Amino acid sequence: MCDEPTPPATTETLADSPPGTADYWRHRRAMTYLALGVGLFLFPLACGLQPALFGLSAPVYTLVTTIVAAYMGTSYLDDNRKKRSDA
């Protein structure tokens, strides 16, 4: 039905991007921003629409905190590793 050609599938994964490139942290950043968006905007909106969801607040915010802390921790460790290798 569509006359436009299908774009080629990309097979690039996180392993294909060497450390230090812009793509290396792309998936981790996307996961972290998604978790922040859910925690800051989507979940409170859902709780406002359905008050029964307030019971899930602790698990949801524990998950969001874990994801954000994992990203911050791994990026900090990676920055330190890179500084040591450059020195």
Residues 6+ apart with CB under 8 A from 65: none
Q: Is residue 4 in some structural domain? A: no
- Is-contact 14 27, C-beta < 8 A? yes
pLDDT: which is higher, 77 or 9 = 77
Domain of 67, in residue numbers: 21-86
Q: Is residue 50 in some structural domain? A: yes
Distance of CA 11 to the CA centre of its chain: 20
pLDDT: which is higher, 60 or 83 = 60
Packing angle between helix 26-37 and helix 57-86, nearest 10 degrees?
150
- Structure confidence at residue 10 (pLDDT): 59
- Structure confidence at residue 82 (pLDDT): 79
Q: Is residue 9 in some structural domain? A: no
- Structure confidence at residue 48 (pLDDT): 92
- Structure confidence at residue 68 (pLDDT): 87
Q: Greatest CA span in the chain, whole angstroms?
A: 58
Q: Is residue 79 in some structural domain? A: yes
| Residues 7-54: tens digit of each pLDDT | 556 555 555 566 666 676 777 788 888 888 888 888 899 999 999 989
